[in-house]
Amino acid sequence: MSSSAAKSAVRSTAKASGQTGGQTAGSSIAEGFNGAFSLPPGPALEICLRLQNAIIEHRLQPGTRLSEDEVGEIYGAGRTVVRSALQALAHSGLLEIKRNRGASVAKPTVGDAHEVFEARALIEPEVARRAAARITDADLTRLKAHIEAEHQALADNDMGKALALSGLFHIDIAGIAEHSVYAAMIQSLITKSSLIIALYWVRPDTACESHAHHALLDAFEQKDGDAAHALMRSHLIDLHSGLNLKTRVRTETSLAEALAGG
């Protein structure tokens, strides 16, 4: 991603949020993934959430460089505030910061990709089983809303948002399971999965499987833990198989173009 496209992507994110964190679809996605950041409320956290959103929605691609000066100009923030936001994102694994090179969106290796999806296949089926035993009518309504939002994003041809919403569906299931350790692990793994899909995804039919989510929802409605376990495991195996982990192909886009989508 070129500097001008990356800058455009960041700038459009700032405009969408009004630079103050108004309630938009983008901000709700960012807040859904929040939890790993230790920043207090304020400009640094706001910038952190906006950049996280752009990464998770694939508007900022792996390898994109984020200059402190550019980000500060776009969001009207000083270097100290921007540096705090970038360091928080690096701590979460979304960015890499290297001496004399600055910050860039993280680029998981093929080995990282295998490890992340193997870990998800071990953890998430058991979490789905736990969720089936604890789920409430309010939880079911919220999961249905996630699926409807995924459908709308797909209808709008916004695959990045659809994938982000798909990740939120999994994170919400972890919350329903009422296991804080699993929930924290799953949020971290799904955040890394977003980077992996941006780099290695080659099968659209598996990367955002709303029919798999519908099947899980049916199992939850029946409170069938064994079915939820089996369906989640199958879903994750399909996601893993939808990645090309032999070769990596990615297109170059600029910071301004990337952050121009919202």
246 domain-assigned: no
Confidence band of 7 (pLDDT split at 50, 70, 90): low
User: Looking at the structure, do residues 223 and 190 belong to the same domain, yes or no?
Assistant: yes
User: Looking at the structure, do residues 142 and 179 belong to the same domain, yes or no?
Assistant: yes
Q: Is the pLDDT of residue 120 over 80?
A: yes
CB atoms within 10 A of CB 180: 10
Q: Which domain holds residue 136?
A: 110-241
Q: What is the pLDDT of residues 152-167, one digit of tens each?
A: 988 898 888 888 899 9
Q: What string of DSSP letters covers 51-120? A: HHHHHHTTSS-TT-EE-HHHHHHHHT--HHHHHHHHHHHHHHTSEEEETTTEEEE----HHHHHHHHHHH
User: Looking at the structure, do residues 80 and 139 belong to the same domain, yes or no?
Assistant: no
pLDDT for residue 19: 41
Please provide the average confidence, as pLDDT, over all residues in the chain.
83
| Beta sheet of 102-105, edge-to-edge order | 65-66, 102-105, 95-98
User: Looking at the structure, do residues 204 and 255 belong to the same domain, yes or no?
Assistant: no
Q: Is the pLDDT of residue 203 over 90?
A: no
User: Looking at the structure, do residues 103 and 116 belong to the same domain, yes or no?
Assistant: no
pLDDT for residue 113: 94
Q: Is the pLDDT of residue 255 over 80?
A: no
Q: What is the pLDDT of residues 36-88, one digit of tens each?
A: 677 888 999 999 999 998 999 888 999 999 999 999 999 999 999 999 999 99
Alpha carbon distance, N-terminus to C-terminus of the chain: 17
SS3 assignment, position 204: helix
pTM of this prediction?
0.79
Q: Where are the alpha helices (DSSP H) in 18-60?
A: 25-33, 43-56
132 domain-assigned: yes
